[in-house]
Structure 1
Amino acid sequence: MSKDPKDLRIKSNVFDDPKRAPNRAMLRAVGITDEDFKKPMIGIASTWSEVTPCNIHLHDLALKAKKGAQDAGGVPLIFNTITVSDGISMGTAGMRYSLPSRDVIADSIETVVGAENLDAYVAIGGCDKNIPGCMISIARTDVPAVFVYGGTIAPGYRNGEKLDIVSVFEGVGKHNNGDISDKELHGIECNACPGAGSCGGMYTANTMASAVEALGMSLPGSSSHPAESKDKHEDTQKAGEAVYKLLEQGIYPKDIMTKEAFENAVTVVMALGGSTNAVLHLLAMAHAAEVDLSIDDFDRIQRKVPHLADLKPSGKYVMEDLYNVGGVQAVMKLLYENGYLHGDCLTVTGKTLAENLADANDLKEGQEIILPLDKPYRKTGPLVILKGNLAPRGAVAKVSGVKVKRHTGPARVFENEAEATKAVMDNQINEGDVLVIRNVGPKGGPGMPEMLSISAILVGKGMGEKVALLTDGRFSGGTHGLVVGHIAPEAQVGGPIAYLQEGDQVMIDSDLQEITMYVSDEEIEKRKQSWTAPPLYKKGILGKYAHTVSCSSKGAVTDDFQD
């Protein structure tokens, strides 16, 4: 039996007190009536913006979520938060703001939900940092909530070839190499992104959307539905209805976001060949939910979960293709039926994961995107945690599609991406080199910028597996090749990468999961004694971030306060 709406008011009932007449007066000015005050107030947190195709359509989706919440019996109120485009800021100084935007989003949603005494909310995100930003706020505020993914962009086409944003970055390398003309590069640029939605491969947005669905915090199918599809409009409206039902049932985010649910999320990311950023973001989400998740859990799960998906950047298909053969739900059903997922985890449907999957379709017969479990692309997951004297707290490599298992070569050390990119474009980096970009970690960047631009240029120049690229910064979900990121501790705080010198021999072994510099402990200690940390950035949001952010091995969170 449904509860009386007035019994669902968790926070908005503070307005019942006669002394709250001034507060109610403010709400009347935005359309709230006497009858509405008897109902729960449900926020619709939208990351709508015109600065990126990932988010340009989200206002229409917010209206759908509002209708769903209203039809269910709530009083929905739309509010907005920021977004930035990783693809637009990539390779520029603006990329430093990308990861901090995750925390701005989380903080701003938490602020509105808390300040306005909202009883529940739907959070709608599109671009990479929207998803973990929304989820961090959901974990912190701990009122009933549902996440909605804005959906993937359709692939672009030119001369019969399927394109996406990574095609353009790699085109820059091909152009620099003399392999394509100005006209060809311009043609790729003009056709790669045909409309609304997040980058089409199994890049960070699609990875995190899939992870959140596996976590149980979005409705079944939400992560797969394309941005401009009827299904996306329908699942958004249903999210508004679902959050009201969560209120009725008294189901809160921390009832759903358990350790087992996070293990499900990691498992799905591994099977799909997701972005390295999933490690950073899932750690941060778990921290917000007070769940004990570590990079050692990623290592443990990686060793037993096969990589099944032939998806970009290392494969040939995009998220829309996966949607057409059954979507993430069909992949989860396959994994669950073969013992890889915890089926008893609660979800935002009010049902368990197993109950949801009982209604899910199987993968279509004859599809080639998801390989059988007995014939995977890799017998283990493609996100590999590396450790060694260069990364005592760990580093992350994505090895899907990479044939080179071990690489040893001389370090070519750069203090920023711009200088390293110039060296690559000027053909100063040779086959066998280990290209190192340091002082770009969470504190050192500040902001831990992504290195898609330079990694894609290397691929475009045919050096994706001939040159290793190491950094204490991050890589885009679109990055592939011989790359290692999240090296921790970072250079800014005196991690061993700070003491690496030009010409030092460095070894990366993905099978042994080691990353080592062939420098003696005595020599490292000698270099440490003569090392001075660069000054920490002090201005504005980047300054605040640099002074509060934790190590990447902890998720680069900004509220890891020690007693």
Structure 2
Amino acid sequence: MKQVLRSQQWFGKKGKDGIIYRAWMKNQGIPDYEFQGKPIIGICNTWSELTPCNAHFRELAESVKRGIFEAGGFPVEFPVMSLGETLIKPTAMLYRNLASMDVEESIRANPMDGVVLLCGCDKTTPSLVMGACSVDIPTIVVSGGPMLTGKYNGRDIGTSDVWRFTDDVKSGIMSEEELNIAEAGLCRSQGHCAVMGTASTMACMVESLGLTLPQNAAIPAADSRRKVLAQLSGKRIVEMVREDQKLSGILTKKAFENAIKVNAAIGGSTNFVIHLLAIAGRIGVPLEIGDFDRLSASIPLLANLQPSGKFFMEDLYYAGGIPALLKELDAFLNTDCITANGKTIRENYQRAECYNREVIASIDKPFNTATALAVLHGNICENGAVIKPTAASPHLFQHSGKAVVFENIEDYKLRIDDPDLPVDENSILVLKNVGPKGYPGMPEVGNMTLPLKLLEKGIKDIVRISDGRMSGTGFGTVVLHVSPEATLGGNFSVLETGDLITLDLNARSLNVDLSEEELQSRKDKWKPSPILAERGYTSLYINNVEQAHLGADFDFLKGGSGSEVTRDSH
């Protein structure tokens, strides 16, 4: 039976409606035969000059178009909201769900049979995938690629060094002039962060889920092979339409399990948890925060990449990329998962080779035996919290200390360098009200800069706890995503300076030494801080966003995918 293309519900119509759909498209110089049953492929583009990581996407889209034309399809490029991590205030995470809605409705409402998602900067990848999941048509992802490794005074640098440079300037080790020189060499090409930050983690995530062609994650943005991959992806999406290979056929529970294991092996960003949970919720796959700890626990760190290691994404590609790493994980993976090119994940990596064991270690001799992700529970975080052990200090894995509590980010900024702040190297910094509802948007402020008086003593790390997030480029013994967040009035909301807190990473626990009676007494007296959101999207966000352990998506967007076409309005 001949396949009926979704786009023909527009362009195949007779009479007035058909004339309107075709005639207005023809004003772009499109000949009539392009509407006669060719697969129409949308190119969902997050290009923006306000999103520097994605600023090369116009050129990348042209490569995708060549592949679509080559395979007999017709490309239609369309823009959606672009989330630039470095510029958007108060935080790009506030708008992830909004961008996903933009993507979902743009796909559903328009005549396309398949879609190519062009994404790179942190939130652009999960937002585009979330939106596409809610429509569930054939979809392939093309990441923008990491930037080339930065250079400063004869050494390699990357965006993880932002935190080091900041501390060095603050403590007088580095001058402002030296910082300006380093800044000029930090981001020296197109592309997203060169380290295993959130952007690179998301690129690895979509490759390990099977949503891309092999090698998508690590090819540098400036490398000509990135354009080749884009063209091949354009060619492949036309074939996917003809095969009716939808997202729901790729994004199975087994595929999500693979992604979690790969994230552990690469030392991926803690933001991976919140985004993968949201994607699973959209496609209707049952996934819980406990799955991340269970599936990560037996996977050692194989990728020697900053911030957990030494090297950069460019080095990962030259060493063999994600296929070489997947091959090391063969015994742990669900090898029969189907991927975007129609092959199983094992078929995609079975011929892969590792060319540098310093960058990609073997499973028998891992770079670090610690896991890259752990989920904590306790009376501070009843619904969970996350920590990245490979980026933390081993001497703090089991640690008790007195809390130094900041009620919000303004309180932290006001007091952190106060000489009279009751803090030493054994203290535990606690930052409240930076969660999904409380900030709102859950910003990347969890890896709080240490007090000046500790930096001057040479202290590089202490335990830090918050209901916010941390940049994937960050590092330290940082507990994140505490759920429920402080704004909801749980135990975390009533912590006070001087409370004794114990982190026990081996036991996966985080507790405050207070009785249930004392905690309840404090909660009875607790009053919520005012949330400033009187109107618009921010109000919608606060009223509908779920907690971090559920993915911080909107409660009304879970499941319910479908590409139904709306009524004609002409």
Structure-2 change in CA distance of 1:490 and 1:331 (3 Å):
same
Q: Larger deviation: 256-265 or 408-417?
A: 408-417
Shift of 1:561: 6.7
8 Å Cα contact 2:267-2:303 kept in structure 1: yes
Q: With structure 2 as the length reference, what TM-score do the two structures score? A: 0.92
Correspondence for 1:527 among 519, 522, 531: 522
Shift of 1:74: 1.1
The match for 1:197 is 191
The code of the aligned residue for 1:84 comes to L
The match for 1:559 is 555
Alpha-carbon deviations, 1:235-255, whole Å to 9, x = none?
011111111111111111000
Alpha-carbon deviations, 1:29-78, whole Å to 9, x = none?
23333211121211000111112331111111111111211221111101
* Aligned partner of residue 436 in structure 1, secondary structure: strand
Correspondence for 2:503 among 502, 508, 514: 508
Shift of 1:335: 0.9
Cα separation, 2, equivalents of 1:66 and 1:100: 32
Alpha-carbon deviations, 1:86-111, whole Å to 9, x = none?
2345xxxx2x3311222222111111
The code of the aligned residue for 1:309 comes to A
The match for 1:548 is 544
The match for 1:411 is 403
Structure-2 change in CA distance of 1:421 and 1:430 (3 Å):
farther
Q: What CA RMSD, in Å, does the superposition of the two structures yield over aligned residues?
A: 2.0
The match for 2:334 is 342
1:326 paired to 2:320? yes
1:256 paired to 2:254? no
* Aligned partner of residue 22 in structure 1, secondary structure: helix
The match for 1:72 is 71
Cα separation, 2, equivalents of 1:225 and 1:426: 45
The match for 1:161 is 155
The match for 1:136 is 130
Q: Larger deviation: 185-194 or 499-508?
A: 185-194
What pairs up with 1:145-184 in 2 under 5 angstroms?
145-184=139-178
The code of the aligned residue for 1:373 comes to I
The match for 1:392 is 382
8 Å Cα contact 2:163-2:474 kept in structure 1: no
What pairs up with 1:303-382 in 2 under 5 angstroms?
303-336=297-330, 339-359=331-351, 361-364=352-355, 366-382=356-372
Cα separation, 1, equivalents of 2:388 and 2:270: 6
Shift of 1:17: 2.2
Q: Larger deviation: 148-157 or 527-536?
A: 527-536
* Aligned partner of residue 506 in structure 1, secondary structure: strand
The code of the aligned residue for 2:529 comes to P
What pairs up with 1:246-325 in 2 under 5 angstroms?
246-325=240-319
Correspondence for 1:494 among 481, 486, 489: 489
Cα separation, 2, equivalents of 1:193 and 1:562: 37
8 Å Cα contact 1:550-1:557 kept in structure 2: yes
Structure-2 change in CA distance of 1:173 and 1:421 (3 Å):
farther
Cα separation, 1, equivalents of 2:478 and 2:342: 41
The code of the aligned residue for 1:34 comes to D
Q: With structure 1 as the length reference, what TM-score do the two structures score? A: 0.93
What pairs up with 1:48-59 in 2 under 5 angstroms?
48-59=47-58
Correspondence for 1:120 among 105, 110, 114: 114
The match for 1:34 is 32
8 Å Cα contact 1:174-1:457 kept in structure 2: no
Alpha-carbon deviations, 1:332-383, whole Å to 9, x = none?
11211xx111111011001111111224x2101x530122222224435221
Shift of 1:169: 3.0
Shift of 1:453: 6.8
Q: Larger deviation: 127-136 or 78-87?
A: 78-87
* Aligned partner of residue 454 in structure 1, secondary structure: coil
In structure 1, the gaps of 5 or more residues are none
Shift of 1:507: 1.0
Cα separation, 2, equivalents of 1:425 and 1:23: 62
Shift of 1:454: 2.9
Cα separation, 2, equivalents of 1:432 and 1:303: 27
Shift of 1:223: 0.6
Alpha-carbon deviations, 1:196-255, whole Å to 9, x = none?
111111110111110110100011001111101111000011111111111111111000
The match for 2:20 is 22
* Aligned partner of residue 86 in structure 2, secondary structure: helix
In structure 2, the gaps of 5 or more residues are 560-570
1:12 paired to 2:8? yes
Shift of 1:520: 0.8
Cα separation, 2, equivalents of 1:30 and 1:523: 70
Q: Larger deviation: 402-411 or 455-464?
A: 455-464
Cα separation, 2, equivalents of 1:109 and 1:301: 31
Structure-2 change in CA distance of 1:310 and 1:501 (3 Å):
same
* Aligned partner of residue 392 in structure 1, secondary structure: coil
Alpha-carbon deviations, 1:476-528, whole Å to 9, x = none?
10111110000000011122110111111111111111000111100110111
Shift of 1:166: 2.5
Cα separation, 2, equivalents of 1:250 and 1:98: 34
The code of the aligned residue for 2:242 comes to E
The match for 1:441 is 435
Shift of 1:562: 9.4
8 Å Cα contact 1:455-1:464 kept in structure 2: no
* Aligned partner of residue 64 in structure 1, secondary structure: helix
The code of the aligned residue for 2:553 comes to V
The match for 1:60 is 59
8 Å Cα contact 1:172-1:460 kept in structure 2: no
* Aligned partner of residue 87 in structure 1, secondary structure: coil
Correspondence for 2:480 among 470, 479, 485: 485
Structure-2 change in CA distance of 1:108 and 1:457 (3 Å):
farther
8 Å Cα contact 1:69-1:75 kept in structure 2: yes
Shift of 1:194: 0.7
8 Å Cα contact 1:41-1:76 kept in structure 2: yes
The match for 2:373 is 383
Cα separation, 1, equivalents of 2:29 and 2:382: 57
Shift of 1:15: 3.0
8 Å Cα contact 1:456-1:479 kept in structure 2: no
The code of the aligned residue for 2:319 comes to V
Cα separation, 2, equivalents of 1:373 and 1:474: 30
Cα separation, 2, equivalents of 1:189 and 1:433: 32
Structure-2 change in CA distance of 1:314 and 1:561 (3 Å):
closer
Cα separation, 1, equivalents of 2:83 and 2:141: 19
Shift of 1:423: 3.2
Matched pairs, number: 549
Cα separation, 1, equivalents of 2:206 and 2:521: 46
